[in-house]
Structure 1
Amino acid sequence: MKAVFILCSLVTLFYLVSCCEQNYYDKDGECCKKCGPGKRMLVDDNCDDPRCQDCQDGEYQSGYTSETRCERQPSCDPNLHFKPQPNPIKTDLIKCECQDGYYCTQDDDCNTCRKHTVCTPGQKVVKKGTSKSDTLCEACKNGTFSSQELAETCQEWITCQYGYDKNAPGSSTSDRICLDGTPAYRVVIWVMVVFIIILGAVALFIIIKCKMCAKLQKQTEKITCKHIRILREDTEDIERAVQPINQQQPEEDLDDSTPVSPTPSNITENGYPVQQEHGKESISSHPESNSYA
């Protein structure tokens, strides 16, 4: 009998436990109803019809519960490079996601966002970064290069063709540089050709300059001769205009007579020399005769 009682007790307890595992909970040996997802229990005074309340913003409750508090949602701060959560749900735990160019340091609980690694020149991107993994870079192999950041491939060095020499070897960040391998005598010929062209240009410039100077000198001489001719014609016109005026003026009487020395013939009885008028012939003086009519 005792064994049967123990067995029945175990079956009853198992039934009660299995009954309370889902939507009910055990309270003083009685299965009481829980609050649904997204809610919390205010007071567990009513076992069959408990009073429940919705979780507040920023909180969640993922399943049936008899707890009086909801769980807090994680804070996805955009200032910490997280994507904003416009409409957070209250029935499940949300996971923050990092912005583009960043990734989480933990897969299960994204607490920190780190910036993706930037593949530098001389490297190539093997695997692009995601919101949960970093970018994977690889160095370019010998004979290849990349000159930009985040290059997806490494380019091979250029091959110098026949007649070209390597001026600079290639590296992991720059290509090989090839120059024309022209012989030295060709270089000399090209230098001489350029020199002759420059010399011819200088000579042509001098010839043109001399022709311009000669033309300018002729024009100057022509202008000078024209001015002299005009000046000469003006002088002749002035002389012709002045000549009639000179002809109209009376000529002054010039006294070409020489002074006469006193002689007995040109002295009066009183001893004074005889005075003669200008322009008249000299008159010989005669002694006055006393004639009485």
Structure 2
Amino acid sequence: MKTVAILCLLVTLLYLVSCCEEETHYRKQDKCCKKCGPGKRMLVDDNCEDPRCQDCKDGEYQSGYTNKTKCERQPSCDPNLHFQQQMNPSKTSLSKCECKPGYYCTQYDDCNTCREHKVCKPGQRVVTKGSPVSDTVCEACKNGTFSTQESADTCKEWAICEYGYDKNAPGSLTSDRICVEGRPTQRGVIVVGVVVLLLILIAGVAAILYMTKRHKCWKKIKLPEQAPKIAGLNIRRLHQDADVERAIQPLNQQPEEVDEINGPVSPTPSNVTENGNVVEQEWGKEPVYPSAESNSY
């Protein structure tokens, strides 16, 4: 009989243990008692099977089943420490404090301190904007770009100067390139140099051509000076031939009168030089006309 009683007692204990769930119940004096639900606390532990529970106060919470008589307090989010004030915090879960815009928590799991987001300076751009749990990431502008404002989202490109004129080239990370007229760049200087060189070459070629043409003209002007003398000799020669012909004529033939031309001679192709000057005729000796001699006998 004693053995049977022991077995019955063990079965009863096992039944009591198996029916008492740890999450929603607790054991008290070999009894399985109920716990208060989330967001509540137990007033008095006077009735194990049906305890009296009360809601947590504002600023308090209870995340699970409990037999405690006090709720947990929500963290204090002081606005003076750059925290956002909690509006209607939960009574069933922990409400973590959040930092104001422009600030972030130093620790992700437990936000105890708020730090101000980094401000990207002029000459930088924002790569990643800050969040309540992370800081802002900045990056310097690349060469050829600039930013003049703080926390700029993008960097602007330098201005392109027209016609190759500029003043503050090549700009900087914090200022744009300022273009003004009157200051040519290296490209403009090269263009001006090429133009000047071409003008010098053209002037040199023109001078050579002018000197060559002048030399030829001087030779042409020198040669015609001997033309009148040669023409005069030819005319004299013609007159002498005429005298010989007159001397051979018969004695009884009267010589033809030659009218002397005192006026100006009209220009013809025979009495004009290469330059168009009229050849002045030079007269030789007066012609001697033959006369009949008297016979002595």
- TM-score under structure 2 length normalisation: 0.54
Q: Secondary structure at the match of 1:74?
A: coil
User: Aligned partners of 1:54, 1:73: CA distance in 2, in Å?
Assistant: 15
User: Residue type of the partner of 1:92?
Assistant: S
1:10, CA displacement in angstroms?
9.2
The answer (yes or no) to whether the contact 1:116–1:129 under 8 Å persists in 2 is: yes
User: Aligned partners of 1:163, 1:89: CA distance in 2, in Å?
Assistant: 68
1:108 and 1:163, CA in 2 relative to 1: closer, same or farther beyond 3 A?
Answer: closer
1:166, CA displacement in angstroms?
4.0
1:64, CA displacement in angstroms?
1.0
Once the two structures are superposed, what CA deviation does each residue of 1:202-250 show, in whole Å capped at 9, x if it has no partner? xxxxxxxxxxxxxxxxxxxxxxxxxxxxxxxxxxxxxxxxxxxxxxxxx
- Counterpart in the other structure of 2:81: 80
User: Aligned partners of 2:177, 2:19: CA distance in 1, in Å?
Assistant: 77
User: Residue type of the partner of 1:149?
Assistant: E
Q: Secondary structure at the match of 2:127?
A: strand
User: Residue type of the partner of 1:156?
Assistant: E
Q: Secondary structure at the match of 1:25?
A: strand
Q: Secondary structure at the match of 2:179?
A: strand
User: Aligned partners of 1:62, 1:180: CA distance in 2, in Å?
Assistant: 74
1:110, CA displacement in angstroms?
1.5
The answer (yes or no) to whether the contact 1:35–1:52 under 8 Å persists in 2 is: yes
Residue 156 (structure 1) aligned with residue 157 (structure 2): yes
User: Aligned partners of 2:91, 2:75: CA distance in 1, in Å?
Assistant: 12
- Counterpart in the other structure of 2:238: none
- Counterpart in the other structure of 2:64: 63
Once the two structures are superposed, what CA deviation does each residue of 1:174-200 show, in whole Å capped at 9, x if it has no partner? 1122221368xxxxxxxxxxxxxxxxx
- Counterpart in the other structure of 1:41: 42
The answer (yes or no) to whether the contact 1:167–1:179 under 8 Å persists in 2 is: no
CA RMSD of aligned residues (A): 2.6
1:175 and 1:11, CA in 2 relative to 1: closer, same or farther beyond 3 A?
Answer: farther
User: Aligned partners of 1:23, 1:182: CA distance in 2, in Å?
Assistant: 87
In percent, how many aligned pairs have the same letter? 69
Q: Which runs of 5+ in 1 are unaligned?
A: 184-293
Structure with a larger share of its residues in strand: 1
Once the two structures are superposed, what CA deviation does each residue of 1:249-284 show, in whole Å capped at 9, x if it has no partner? xxxxxxxxxxxxxxxxxxxxxxxxxxxxxxxxxxxx
The answer (yes or no) to whether the contact 2:167–2:183 under 8 Å persists in 1 is: no
1:87 and 1:25, CA in 2 relative to 1: closer, same or farther beyond 3 A?
Answer: same
1:120 and 1:14, CA in 2 relative to 1: closer, same or farther beyond 3 A?
Answer: farther
Where does 1:1-293 land on structure 2 (aligned, <5 Å)? 13=14, 16=17, 19-181=20-182
User: Residue type of the partner of 1:100?
Assistant: P
User: Aligned partners of 1:172, 1:116: CA distance in 2, in Å?
Assistant: 22
The answer (yes or no) to whether the contact 2:146–2:155 under 8 Å persists in 1 is: yes
The answer (yes or no) to whether the contact 2:148–2:175 under 8 Å persists in 1 is: yes
Runs of 4+ in 1 over 6 A off after TM superposition: none
1:94, CA displacement in angstroms?
0.8
The answer (yes or no) to whether the contact 1:143–1:156 under 8 Å persists in 2 is: yes
Q: Secondary structure at the match of 1:32?
A: strand
1:45, CA displacement in angstroms?
2.5
The answer (yes or no) to whether the contact 1:128–1:136 under 8 Å persists in 2 is: yes
Q: Secondary structure at the match of 2:43?
A: strand
User: Aligned partners of 1:12, 1:62: CA distance in 2, in Å?
Assistant: 31
1:88 and 1:164, CA in 2 relative to 1: closer, same or farther beyond 3 A?
Answer: same
- Counterpart in the other structure of 2:271: none
User: Residue type of the partner of 1:30?
Assistant: K
- TM-score under structure 1 length normalisation: 0.55
1:167 and 1:174, CA in 2 relative to 1: closer, same or farther beyond 3 A?
Answer: closer
1:172, CA displacement in angstroms?
0.7
User: Residue type of the partner of 1:68?
Assistant: T
Once the two structures are superposed, what CA deviation does each residue of 1:44-69 show, in whole Å capped at 9, x if it has no partner? 22110112222222211111101122
User: Aligned partners of 1:33, 1:55: CA distance in 2, in Å?
Assistant: 18
1:135, CA displacement in angstroms?
1.1
User: Residue type of the partner of 1:24?
Assistant: H
Q: Secondary structure at the match of 1:180?
A: coil
